[in-house]
């Protein structure tokens, strides 16, 4: 899953769009990062709104984790700090509009490391925002565990728009995970069909029986009576001149609106053949 917003030259995924990238509050985004590929450093967690140091011995206040064309960075507030014996004093803070981005590979010490390095204490001037003057309160909640925030996309849709028929499907409510890479409707249906081809049973937990059970999924309804069905099936759609998949019934609007053309809509047309379809393609 993509857990962080990304700055990209091409916007094709949810996490690259401005709502996630520019409009989201810092406290609504994933608060921490660690070098998960390193067995030595994966437990060194960096949280936003905390002090950290970089490999070039500069001190920064962490603001937001963001990928830049696939490379992880962090937005930071550059600060000036002075060492006084075994204590550290953070004195100034740059304007928010001048926030630089630092590659996460340049991070050297998190707040816990700095507290050990400066047993005399870390002191902040009045110019530093209050929310940055201590370790993140989320550390007490996480207790050393990785901590992520996951966005949720929720919406509802009336499956059938008909109001004059006896049967109408109820309104569906959808909840999706936008952290996964985008795939088209057709790609998802291919995967779905492949899953249903197998005589496969899934192990899951039944909260009522309070034990694990086996369950098998079976298709009951397939998409129909919807323009999306035509698109998924690579069909021309209801607005096509020859919109029947079985024969060549139809024609231009002028013909279909004529007496002869309208009558022809109620009779079978010339059957389609594999050869003629291939020739058209």
* Nearest Cα to Cα of residue 100 among 78, 69, 129: 78
DSSP at 231? H
Q: Does 205 score more than 90 pLDDT?
A: yes
Which pLDDT score, from 0 to 100, does residue 226 have?
A: 65
Residue 164's pLDDT band (cuts 50, 70, 90): low
C-beta of residue 100 within 8 angstroms of C-beta of residue 62: no
The residue that leads in pLDDT, 244 or 206, is 206
Which CA distances in Å does 69 have to 7, 95, 103, 158, 238?
A: 6, 26, 12, 38, 41
The phi and psi torsions of 47 (rounded to 5 degrees) equal -115, 150
Report the range of poorest mean pLDDT among 4-18, 20-34, 122-136, 185-199.
185-199
Which pLDDT score, from 0 to 100, does residue 144 have?
A: 93
Domain boundaries, the chain: 6-142, 183-220, 234-281
DSSP at 213? E
Residue in the structure block whose two tokens are 């009576």 = 225
- CA 51 to chain CA mean position, Å: 29
Q: Does 22 score more than 70 pLDDT?
A: yes
Give the number of other Cβ atoms within 10 Å of residue 72's Cβ.
16
Residue 167's pLDDT band (cuts 50, 70, 90): low
Instruction: Quote the tokens at residue 11.
Output: 């916007």
- The per-residue pLDDT for range 124-163, each reduced to its tens digit, is 998 888 999 999 999 999 999 999 999 999 988 776 655 5
Q: Does 95 score more than 60 pLDDT?
A: no
Which pLDDT score, from 0 to 100, does residue 238 have?
A: 72
* Nearest Cα to Cα of residue 109 among 42, 33, 57, 48: 57
- The per-residue pLDDT for range 248-273, each reduced to its tens digit, is 998 999 999 999 999 999 999 999 99
Regarding beta strands 71-84 and 87-93, do their DSSP bridges make them parallel or antiparallel, or are they unpaired? antiparallel
Angle at 250 between CA 244 and CA 256, to 5 degrees: 140
Which pLDDT score, from 0 to 100, does residue 169 have?
A: 63
Q: Does 96 score more than 60 pLDDT?
A: no
Give the Cα separation of 75 and 4 in Å (integer).
Answer: 12
Give the number of other Cβ atoms within 10 Å of residue 115's Cβ.
15
């Amino acid at each position: 899953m993509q857990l962080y917003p990304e700055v990209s030259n091409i916007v094709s995924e949810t996490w690259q769009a401005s709502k996630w990238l520019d409009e989201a509050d810092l406290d609504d985004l994933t608060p921490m990062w660690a070098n998960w590929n390193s067995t030595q450093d994966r437990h060194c967690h960096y949280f936003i709104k905390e002090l950290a140091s970089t490999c070039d011995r500069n001190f920064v206040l962490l603001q937001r984790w963001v990928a830049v064309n696939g490379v992880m960075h962090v937005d930071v507030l550059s600060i000036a700090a002075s060492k006084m014996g075994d204590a550290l004093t953070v004195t100034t803070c740059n304007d928010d509009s001048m926030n630089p981005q630092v590659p996460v590979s340049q991070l050297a010490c998190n707040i816990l490391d700095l507290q050990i390095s400066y047993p005399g204490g870390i002191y902040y001037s009045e110019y530093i925002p209050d929310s940055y003057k201590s370790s993140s309160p989320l550390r007490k909640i996480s207790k050393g565990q990785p901590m992520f925030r996951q966005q949720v996309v929720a919406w509802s849709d009336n499956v059938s728009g008909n109001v004059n028929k006896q049967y109408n499907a109820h309104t569906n409510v959808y909840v999706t995970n936008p952290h996964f890479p985008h795939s088209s409707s057709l790609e998802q249906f291919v995967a779905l069909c492949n899953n249903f081809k197998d005589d496969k049973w899934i192990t899951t937990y039944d909260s009522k029986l309070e034990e694990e059970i086996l369950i098998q999924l079976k298709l009951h309804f397939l998409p129909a009576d919807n323009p999306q069905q035509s698109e998924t099936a690579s069909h021309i759609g209801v607005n096509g001149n020859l919109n029947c998949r079985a024969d060549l019934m139809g024609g231009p609007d002028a013909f279909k609106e004529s007496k002869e053309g309208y009558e022809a809509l109620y009779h079978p047309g010339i059957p389609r053949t594999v050869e003629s379809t291939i020739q058209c393609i």
